[in-house]
Chains A and B, each alone.
Chain A
Amino acid sequence: MIPPRFDYARPASLDEALQLLASREGEAKVLAGGFSLLPLMKYRLAQPGLLVDIGRVAGLDAIEEVDGELRIGARATHGAIAGHPLVAARYPLIREAAGGIGDPQIRNWGTIGGSCAHADPASDWPAVIQALRGSFVCRSLGRERVVAARGFFLDVFTTGIEPTEVLTQVRVPRPGPRSGGAYVKLERRTGDFATVGVAAQVQLGADGRIAEVGLGLTAVADAPFAAGDAEDALRGALPTAEKFREAGLAAARQARPTEDRHGPVDYKLTMVRVMTERALRLATERAQANG
C-alpha cells in the first residue's frame, strides 16, 4: 500500500519545525519514527498535506533525571528507553512497559512521543504515564506548556495537543522507596495491541498500607484513562486480596470497552477485573521487596 501524496519537510531545528506547523496549521503532521503514522496513512485514515520529519532535530531523544523526575525526550525509542540504565535502576514500570511494546523492530524506531501524540486507545504508554502521574511538555512557537497526562487523552487518536504544537518531552516523577509498579497486558499473540492492559504503581507507607496508587487502563475505552474510583478505594487501605478485588470491580465499572475481534464487552470487563487484580498484586509485591 502506498500512502496518499503529501509534501515533506525535514527541518534541522525545532523552531523551524514549529514554523512549518504554524504555516500549514491543521494539515501538517509531525513524523518521528513513523510506525504509528505511516500505517494510518496507508489505510487513508490520515491524509496530512505536509509531513514535518523531526527525525534529525537535535536534542529530542535525551533520557535524564532533573529535579527528581525522569525526562524522556519525545523521540526516544521504546527500545532506547527499555535499555537505558537510569530507567532500569529507578523506573521499573517504564522499563517493563517499553520492553513489551510491539516487537523488536518497532521498538527500534517507534518513539514515546509519537506513540503518546498518536493516542491509539490500545497503545501502552498512555496508561503507564497516567498511572505514574506524569506529564507532557508541548511546544509551539514562543510557548511551552506542561500538561498532566491525566486529562490529556480525549478520544480515539485525539489528545489535548494543539495542531501547532510538538510534544517534546515526557516527564515522570521519581518513585520513592517502598514503591513498585507493574504493567500487565492481555494480548492474543505476542506483539499484538493489548486486549486489556493495566498499569499499576503502588506506594506503600511505613505502616504497610497503600499510601498512594496509580492505575492506568489500556484499550477499554475511547481513550486510555486513570481508574480514579479504584484508586480511591485503595488509598489508605491494607493491600489485601479482598481490597484488590474491590478495586478490580471499581475499575471495570469505569471501563467502556467495545466489542471487537478481541471479544465481547462482558469478557473484556471480566478481564479488566482480573488484570487489575494481577497488576496490583505484582506491584505490591515489588513495593514490599523495595523496602
Chain B
Amino acid sequence: MSTIHVSVTVNGERREADVEPRLLLVHLLRDTFGLTGTHIGCDSSNCGACTVHVDGMSAKSCTMLAVQVDGREVRTIEGMADGAALHPLQQAFWDQHGLQCGFCTPGMIMQAAWLLEQNAAPSEGEIREGIAGNLCRCTGYVNIVKAIQQAADTLRAVDAPAEPATAG
C-alpha cells in the first residue's frame, strides 16, 4: 500500500502522518490524530457535522482528502476554547441552549465562527443562510441562531475599542 507523507498544522500544532491517498480529512483528524470532536454525520457533504476550517475557510471534512490539506492549516472544535475558558460561541451555545443531543454542535460552531469572521454583525437572515449547510435534527434552529447572535455581540464587544465616555 503506497502512502504519502502529509504535514498539517492542526490548531496551531504541526502534525505529521503517512496516509493512503484515499484517506478523508475527517478520518485523519479523528482516527489518526485522535481529534474526535469533529463528527461524521451524513458522510456525503450534506449535513455539515464534519465542518472544520482549512486555511481559514470552512470545509466539510468528509469531502476532502487528507492529502489535499498537506501543508495547510486546519482548525477544529478542539482549537476553539482557550484552556478552560470557552470560546464565545461555545459559551453562547451553552447560554442559549443551542443544542440538545450535541451531534451537530461542533460543525455548527465551526461554521458560525467562519460566518462571524466574514460578517461580524449578521442579521438573522444572514445567520440562517450562513448555516444553511449544517443540519440540526433536534432543537430546530431558533436557539442556534440566538446563540450565534449572542456570540456576535460578545466578539464585537471584545474587538471594539472601549467607547470614550461622552461628556455630560
A interface residue numbers (CB < 8 A to B)? 1-8, 10, 31, 34-35, 38-39, 42, 51, 53, 55, 79, 102-106, 108-109, 190-191
For the complex, what is the distance from the CA of A103 to the CA of B51, rounded to whole Å?
A: 12
Interchain residue pairs with CB less than 8 A apart (23):
A2-B27, A5-B22, A8-B65, A10-B70, A34-B64, A34-B68, A35-B45, A35-B60, A35-B63, A38-B63, A38-B65, A39-B45, A55-B68, A103-B48, A104-B58, A104-B129, A105-B45, A105-B51, A105-B60, A108-B114, A109-B59, A191-B132, A191-B133
Q: A2-B22, A190-B132 are in contact. Are A38 and B114 (CB under 8 A)?
A: no
For the complex, what is the distance from the CA of A8 to the CA of B65, rounded to whole Å?
A: 10
Q: On chain B, which size bracket covers the interface?
A: 20 to 34
Q: Which residues of B contact A35 (CB under 8 A)?
A: 45, 60, 63
Q: Which residues of A contact B27 (CB under 8 A)?
A: 2
CB distance from A108 to the nearest CB of B (A): 4
B16 within 8 A of A: no
For the complex, what is the distance from the CA of A105 to the CA of B46, rounded to whole Å?
A: 10
Say yes or no: B65 contacts A34, CB within 8 Å.
yes
Q: Which residues of A contact B17 (CB under 8 A)?
A: none
Taking CB atoms and an 8 Å cut-off, the chain B residues in 113-156 that contact chain A are 114-115, 129-130, 132-134
Say yes or no: B24 contacts A2, CB within 8 Å.
yes
Q: Which residues of B contact A5 (CB under 8 A)?
A: 20-22
For the complex, what is the distance from the CA of A3 to the CA of B129, rounded to whole Å?
A: 30
Say yes or no: A7 contacts B59, CB within 8 Å.
no
B92 within 8 A of A: no
Q: Which residues of B contact A6 (CB under 8 A)?
A: 21-22
- Grouping DSSP codes into helix (H, G, I), strand (E, B) and loop, the B interface class, with mixed when no group exceeds half, is mixed
Say yes or no: B133 contacts A103, CB within 8 Å.
yes
B111 within 8 A of A: yes
Say yes or no: B58 contacts A108, CB within 8 Å.
yes
B43 within 8 A of A: yes
Q: Which residues of A contact B132 (CB under 8 A)?
A: 103-104, 190-191
Instruction: Considering the complex, give the chain B residue whose CB is closest to the CB of A108.
Output: B57
Say yes or no: B60 contacts A106, CB within 8 Å.
yes
B4 within 8 A of A: yes
CB distance from B47 to the nearest CB of A (A): 10
CB distance from B57 to the nearest CB of A (A): 4
For the complex, what is the distance from the CA of A106 to the CA of B27, rounded to whole Å?
A: 19
> Contact check: which of B23, B68, B133 meets A104 at CB < 8 Å?
B133
> Contact check: which of B57, B111, B115 meets A109 at CB < 8 Å?
B57
Instruction: Considering the complex, give the chain A residue whose CB is closest to the CB of B19.
Output: A8
For the complex, what is the distance from the CA of A60 to the CA of B59, rounded to whole Å?
A: 20
Instruction: Considering the complex, give the chain A residue whose CB is closest to the CB of B133.
Output: A103
For the complex, what is the distance from the CA of A104 to the CA of B58, rounded to whole Å?
A: 8
Instruction: Considering the complex, give the chain A residue whose CB is closest to the CB of B64.
Output: A34
B89 within 8 A of A: no
Other than the given A42-B43, A105-B111, 18 more pairs (CB < 8 A) read: A2-B24, A3-B24, A6-B22, A31-B65, A34-B65, A39-B45, A53-B68, A55-B68, A102-B133, A104-B111, A104-B115, A105-B48, A105-B59, A106-B45, A108-B114, A109-B64, A190-B129, A190-B132
B166 within 8 A of A: no
Instruction: Considering the complex, give the chain B residue whose CB is closest to the CB of A55.
Output: B68
> Contact check: which of B2, B59, B67 meets A108 at CB < 8 Å?
B59
